[in-house]
Amino acid sequence: METYLTDLDRHAARGNKGKFLPSAALKIFLTASVSRSMANQHESIDLRSPPVDPSAAAGFSWFPGPPPPNYTCTLTPELVAKAREELQEKPEWRLRDVQALRDMILKEQPNLRTRLDDAFLLRFLRARKFDYDRAMQLLLNYHAGRKAWPEVFQDLKPSTVKHVLDKGFLTVLPQPDPSGRYILCLRPGKWKPNDYPFVDNVRALYLTLEKLIQPEETQVNGIVILADYSGVGMSQASNPGPFLAKKVVSILQDGFPIRIKAVNIINEPRIFKGIFAIIKPFLKEKMAERYILHGSDLRSLHQNIPRLVLPEEYGGTAGQLDMCAWSRLLLDCEEEFIVEFCQPDPLEGVVLPDSMLFEGEQARGQDEDTFRGLRSQLYYCY
């Protein structure tokens, strides 16, 4: 017991700006023996990460793979230092922090069907700078999103969104930027409301984020979004509405363990003012500040994303935009996503806090009332 207390005191005072209190840490670690006995009864939880087909990964060597099943850190010394500075991640305490979160889950949510392996839980700790409580809330939000939006998560696998990928709605550029951040390229103008429901775009986006977050590099560096609004008109702008917009923003901000470091908007039409009026009320101030509007000024874009990693379509020198490589990568990971998403409801039997990510149908009514006012802004901008 004395060893525990000494270690915990050091852990509580490690410089995380007061986010870890000794009493909270003691509570977690002193209940470890209880949690372990509960883990023995936690048979519905698969502690392993989903299998990854090595042959599929080998064909796409430009995109890094996930950590090995038995976790071993794959970060370079530079990224270890970056994680220490930006995320308060201490290599010497990393696995202890993971175990603390695991014990917390088993104690507070013993019925939650979730992965408990080190690599998976590290995503949530890194996304919330190793704050146990916030990481736990993010994990609950992650699963609550699936329950609140079944039309997105039911039977979610790459083959069901092939039509979205074929349209060229999204891709990931093959080279990261100088900060090591992969660039998610969205082209909403490629979608027409008569083609398929907007929710299919969200499905493809979510699968892409799930693949992007697997490598530890992405967990530390975050990602950058490049949204090309060429061809976006009134039909695309008004179709999702604020209720869907709010759900998408809620998932990206509070329901998924990824760090979005910048959102670069290019070729936005006049109507974008109306589109942003729908989105902005749901954005946190920090996220809203990361939106950068470039218009058609590629020189402005190149100040944020260098030409070296951009395709020719955006004034870059990295060749033509390839929409097929990322599509093939996702489709070759079909079995991996079946294991991850085509399973029973992870929240069945789980009692969630009163205040969760989504507010349900009452919020839908309020958002639709707001949309009536915003729609007039859209028509005015158009």
Tens digits of per-residue pLDDT, 190-238? Answer: 999 999 999 999 999 999 999 999 999 999 999 999 999 999 887 777 6
Kind and range of the H or E element at 278? helix 272-279
Strands (E) located in the chain? 170-172, 182-186, 223-228, 260-266, 291-295
pLDDT tens, position by position, 302-317: 999 999 999 999 999 9
pLDDT tens, position by position, 245-270: 788 888 889 999 999 999 999 999 88
Most confident of 61-75, 106-120, 123-137, 140-154: 123-137
How many whole angstroms separate alpha carbon 304 and alpha carbon 241? 30
Count Cβ neighbours within 10 Å for each residue of 351-364 and write b for 16 or more, e otherwise.
Answer: eeeeebbbeeeeeb
For 317, which DSSP code? S
Identify the weakest region by mean pLDDT among 153-157, 171-175, 302-306, 341-345: 341-345
The single residue listed with the structure tokens 């999204």 is: 170
Phi, psi angles (nearest 5°) of residue 42: -95, 55
- Evaluate whether 33 touches 7 at the Cβ level (below 8 Å): no
pTM of the model: 0.78
Rg (CA), the chain: 21
